[in-house]
Each structure stands twice: as C-alpha cells, then as structure tokens.
C-alpha cells in the first residue's frame, strides 16, 4: 500500500485549487448550518390567533357586571378578580399567543387562508355563563389550516395549552364553590342563595329531643338511628370534598428532560446538522475524488505502477475524513459557544463522527465504482443522501413511521449516527451506550469501505 501519502497530498492540493470543490465540500455545510440557524432563530414567535367573540354584548360591559340578562357579557370570578370573556382570553393566553379580533367569520376565514393568522377561535354567546354553571360545559370552536399539518399541530398544542390554564382555573373555582356548599350543609348558612340549617345543628337538636324523651325507648331508638345517620353524613361530606378535588383535578404534570434541562428547538437541530454534514461531505468528497482520478486518466497511469487500488481508496478516505473532522470540530466549537451543550457531550460525539464518516465515505466510493463523470457522481450522491436523511428519523420521528420503515431505517448507518449524536449531545447517555452505537457504525463503515474497494478494483 505504498504511495498513499503522495496521493493524499495531491488530493488536498486538488481541493485547495478547485474553487467549486472547495465550496461544495467544505463551505456548503456551513451555509446549510447558517440557513437552519436563521430559520429557527425566532422559535418563540407568538401564535397569531383570530378571535371572534359572540359573548361580548353590543354595548361595553365592565368587569364585574352581570351582563345583558341573556347570558351574554357575564363575568366569572377567578383568584378574586372578575373576568369577562375577552378579558379571560387576554389574561390567560399570555405572551405566547397574539390575538387579533374579528367581527365576522368570513373576514377571519379569509385571514386564515392568506396566512395572516394561524388559527381562529370562536367564543359562542353565553360562554362565560356556561363556564360558571355547575351543570353545564362551555364549548369553544377552533378552526385550523391543516394544509400544513406540522404548523396546525403546533398551533393546536399551544392554544389547547392556553385553554387548559383557563379550564383549570375554572375547575378550581367550581370545586371551591361546591366544597363551600358542602361545608354549609354541615355547619349551616347560605347554600347557593338559600339559608339552611347545618347537620351539626340537626345532631344537637336530636340530642336535646332524646334527653326530653328518655322515658320513651322506642322513639329514642329511632332518634338515635337518625342521629347516627346525620353523623355519618357529616363524615362522608368531609371526605366527599377531598374526593371532589381529586376527581376534578386528578393530574398535575411536571415536565423535565433526559438532559436535566430544558432544550430549545435550535439545540435539538445540532446533532442533525453535524450528522448531515458528515453524510453529505463523506459521500460527495469520496465519490468526486475517485471519479476525478478516472476523468484525468490518473487511475490508468497508476495501474502501470506497483500501487494497488487499496492505496487509492485509503488516500481518498483520509482526505474525506480530514475535511469531515475539520467541519465537525468547527461546528462543535460554534455550538458549544452558542448553546449550553456539556463539554463531555461534545467529547463523546467525536468518535461517533469518526466512525460515522467511514460509512458515508464508503458509500461515496461505491458510487464512484459506477460513474465516470464528476457531474454524475454529484447527482447520484444527492439522490442517495436525501432519502437516507429523511428515512433516518432526523426530520420525522422514527417511532411514528410504519413498522417496515422503522426496520428499513435501521439498515442505514445515518440512523444510528443521529441516535448516537443525540445521546451524546442532548440526552447525556452513558459512555457505554455511545460506544455501542459507535460499534454498529464501525461495522457499517468497514462493510461499505470493503465493498467500495472490491467494486472499484473489479469495475475499474
């Protein structure tokens, strides 16, 4: 395998002198990285919500007023403050949702079609009145543009989250009212507008009657049973209040991540960007350099020497690996400075990048065995790299794909590479798991490198 060093140096000079190669192989991944960074640079943009509120009366109704008498314009008390429907939406939707009011559904629908709003929320007449009632459920109508399903799901999730805050506040308010009502049944007082005597007073009255009727055992026995029932009801009502709270609000979600911190959307894109750079550069660089040898007649001249085709493959692999590592190191430094990714995560990602490179380089060498022109190599490289990228789960969750697609994805090294990089950089996986993925990637790499070497020897 003599002579590979000279070929290695020659290839580096070719890349350095060829501006097109320099741009495609080295600069393009950074351009792609910049585009992605700019695309997701404002991920905290508020959802634009078109609001049609039929629960607002034609005249202005101030907070705390009882509305128009037909259930429209009423206010509900939450945390000691009165809220009409418009104020309720404005207060609990916060800064994550930007509200634009519309008078007619046609105008709101047109705005949704043209992308001026992301969704339409219709508040029906009597909405707050239904919220306040213990025996009714209020319904709001949400209209989405589902032509862009990802956007529609994200919008729905945000709006449902905001509505759930209102839902919980109302539920807490209703539970408090019912618990207070149950307490009145025990101690007496105002029971939803009616003065009632409490069960404790009933028990005291029964005790007083028993003392008077102590010489009538049959009647006393009946009164004792009534007293026992009243005491049991008092105890049951106390327990029912606790049951009601747990029934109305049974779930509290505390969200955390495997990384032990909240991750931004930009951070989650880092493994994908580095993986895509490795895939793109490895396939393209190896295939182009191999085909250039054929175009310039260098491979025919090398056959006249004692150099083996293995030396050619080794030199091209080393050049590609050098470029990939320079790109990856630069990207890791950039993301390490911008994002709060632990140094250990970046350190563990380096061996993953190395073994992941072998696979992409091997695929590039296999492509070179079937092409004789640089343009053909570029086209075939793109046609192969893009499906691999989409099948791997880097864009769409692998778990949501059909079973046969999940099995197919496992047949590509890029899938394992993205999983390993995500584990190292985002999830904080143990070193043993990272090395396990790296071992699978190494097997893929050796397979493709061996296949590329054999095919180039036979077809060349």
Express each pLDDT in 1-22 by its tens digit: 555 666 677 666 766 666 666 6
Instruction: For residues 295 and 422, state if they share a domain.
Output: yes
Instruction: For residues 280 and 422, state if they share a domain.
Output: yes
Closest CA to 437 of 454, 456, 414, 453: 414
CA of residue 443 relative to chain centroid, distance: 32
Mean pLDDT of the chain: 78
Q: Is the pLDDT confidence value at 185 over 80?
A: no
Whether this prediction's pTM lies above 0.85 is answered by no
Among the three residues 112, 139, 166, which one is the final residue of a domain in this structure? 166
Residue 114 falls inside a structural domain:
yes
pLDDT confidence band for 442 (50 / 70 / 90): very high
Instruction: For residues 23 and 129, state if they share a domain.
Output: no
Closest CA to 121 of 45, 55, 44: 55
Distance CA 315, CA 8 (A): 5
Beta-bridged to residue 122, according to DSSP, are 52, 141
Instruction: Name the residue with higher pLDDT: 261 or 426.
Output: 426
pLDDT at 66: 47
pLDDT at 206: 81
pLDDT at 382: 84
H helical segments located in 188-308: 199-212, 217-248, 265-268, 270-295, 298-303
Q: Is 75 helix (H, G, I), strand (E, B) or coil?
A: coil
Quote the tokens at residue 149. 């399903």
Instruction: For residues 27 and 101, state if they share a domain.
Output: no
The average pLDDT across 306-335 equals 79
Instruction: For residues 135 and 153, state if they share a domain.
Output: yes
Distance CA 98, CA 48 (A): 5
Instruction: For residues 20 and 86, state if they share a domain.
Output: no
Q: What is the CATH number of the domain that holds 149?
A: 3.40.1710
Residue 144 falls inside a structural domain:
yes
pLDDT at 65: 43
Q: Is the pLDDT confidence value at 447 over 90?
A: yes
The average pLDDT across 179-201 equals 77
Do the beta carbons of residue 96 and residue 104 sit within 8 Å?
no
Among the three residues 119, 139, 166, which one is the final residue of a domain in this structure? 166
Domain span including residue 116: 47-166
The average pLDDT across 48-64 equals 68
pLDDT at 102: 92
Q: In terms of DSSP bridges, do strands 76-78 and 194-196 run parallel, antiparallel, or are they unpaired?
A: unpaired
Residue 174 falls inside a structural domain:
no
Among the three residues 166, 185, 210, which one is the final residue of a domain in this structure? 166
pLDDT at 61: 38
Domain tally for the chain?
Answer: 2
Instruction: For residues 56 and 34, state if they share a domain.
Output: no
Instruction: For residues 34 and 152, state if they share a domain.
Output: no
Strongest mean pLDDT among 23-27, 73-77, 233-237, 259-263: 73-77
Contacts of 253 (CB under 8 A, 6+ apart): none
Instruction: For residues 329 and 438, state if they share a domain.
Output: yes
Residue 196 falls inside a structural domain:
no
The average pLDDT across 432-459 equals 87
Question: What is the DSSP-derived secondary structure letter of residue 400?
Answer: G
Do the beta carbons of residue 284 and residue 24 sit within 8 Å?
yes
Instruction: For residues 284 and 153, state if they share a domain.
Output: no
Residue 139 falls inside a structural domain:
yes
Q: Is the pLDDT confidence value at 41 over 60?
A: no
Instruction: For residues 420 and 276, state if they share a domain.
Output: yes
Residue 171 falls inside a structural domain:
no
Contacts of 401 (CB under 8 A, 6+ apart): 393, 409
Q: What is the pLDDT of residues 104-113, one digit of tens each?
A: 889 998 898 8
The average pLDDT across 376-388 equals 85
Instruction: For residues 64 and 26, state if they share a domain.
Output: no
Residue 222 falls inside a structural domain:
no
Residue 172 falls inside a structural domain:
no
H helical segments located in 18-140: 19-21, 28-39, 85-93, 105-113, 127-132
pLDDT at 331: 80
pLDDT confidence band for 443 (50 / 70 / 90): very high
Q: Is the pLDDT confidence value at 332 over 90?
A: no
The torsion angles phi and psi of 61, rounded to 5 degrees, stand at -115, 120
Q: Is the pLDDT confidence value at 317 over 90?
A: no
Q: Range with the lowest mean pLDDT among 37-46, 121-130, 150-159, 420-429?
A: 37-46
Do the beta carbons of residue 112 and residue 50 sit within 8 Å?
yes
């Amino acid at each position: 395998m003599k002579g590979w060093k000279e070929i290695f140096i020659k290839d580096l000079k070719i890349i350095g002198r060829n501006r097109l190669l320099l741009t495609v192989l080295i600069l393009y991944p950074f351009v792609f990285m910049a585009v992605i960074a700019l695309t997701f640079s404002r991920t905290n943009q508020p959802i634009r919500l078109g609001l049609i509120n039929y629960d607002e009366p034609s005249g202005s109704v101030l907070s705390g007023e009882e509305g128009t008498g037909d259930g429209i314009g009423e206010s509900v008390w939450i945390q000691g403050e009165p809220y009409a429907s418009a104020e309720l939406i404005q207060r609990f939707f916060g800064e994550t949702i930007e509200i634009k009011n519309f008078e007619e559904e046609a105008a709101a629908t047109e705005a949704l079609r043209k992308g001026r709003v992301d969704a339409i929320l219709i508040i029906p007449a009597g909405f707050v009145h239904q919220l306040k009632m213990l025996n009714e459920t209020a319904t709001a109508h949400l209209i989405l543009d589902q032509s862009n399903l990802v956007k529609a799901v994200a919008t729905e999730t945000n709006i449902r989250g905001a509505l759930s805050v209102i839902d919980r506040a109302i539920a807490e308010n209703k539970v408090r009212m019912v618990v207070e009502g149950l307490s009145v049944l025990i101690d007496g007082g105002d029971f939803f507008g009616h003065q009632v005597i409490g069960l404790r007073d009933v028990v005291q009255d029964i005790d007083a009657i028993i003392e008077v009727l102590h010489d009538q055992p049959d009647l006393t026995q009946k009164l004792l049973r009534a007293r026992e029932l009243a005491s049991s009801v008092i105890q049951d009502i106390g327990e029912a209040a606790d049951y009601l709270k747990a029934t109305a609000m049974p779930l509290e979600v505390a969200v955390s991540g495997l990384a032990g911190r909240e991750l931004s959307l930009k951070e989650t894109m880092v493994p994908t960007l580095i993986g895509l750079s490795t895939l793109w550069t490895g396939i393209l660089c190896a295939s182009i350099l191999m085909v250039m040898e054929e175009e310039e007649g260098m491979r025919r001249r090398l056959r006249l020497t004692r150099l083996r085709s293995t030396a050619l493959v080794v030199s091209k692999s080393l050049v590609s690996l050098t470029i990939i590592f320079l790109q990856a190191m630069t990207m890791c430094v950039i993301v390490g400075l911008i994002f709060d990714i632990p140094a250990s995560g970046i350190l563990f990602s380096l061996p993953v990048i190395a073994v992941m490179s072998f696979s992409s380089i091997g695929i590039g060498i296999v492509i070179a065995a079937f092409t004789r022109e640089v343009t053909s190599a570029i086209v075939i490289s793109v046609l192969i790299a893009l499906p691999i990228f989409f099948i791997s789960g880097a864009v769409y969750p692998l778990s949501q794909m059909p079973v046969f697609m999940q099995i197919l994805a496992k047949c590509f090294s890029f899938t394992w590479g993205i999983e390993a990089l995500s584990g190292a950089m985002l999830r904080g996986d143990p070193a043993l798991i990272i090395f396990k993925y790296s071992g699978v990637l190494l097997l893929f790499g050796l397979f493709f490198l061996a296949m590329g070497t054999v095919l180039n020897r036979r077809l060349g």
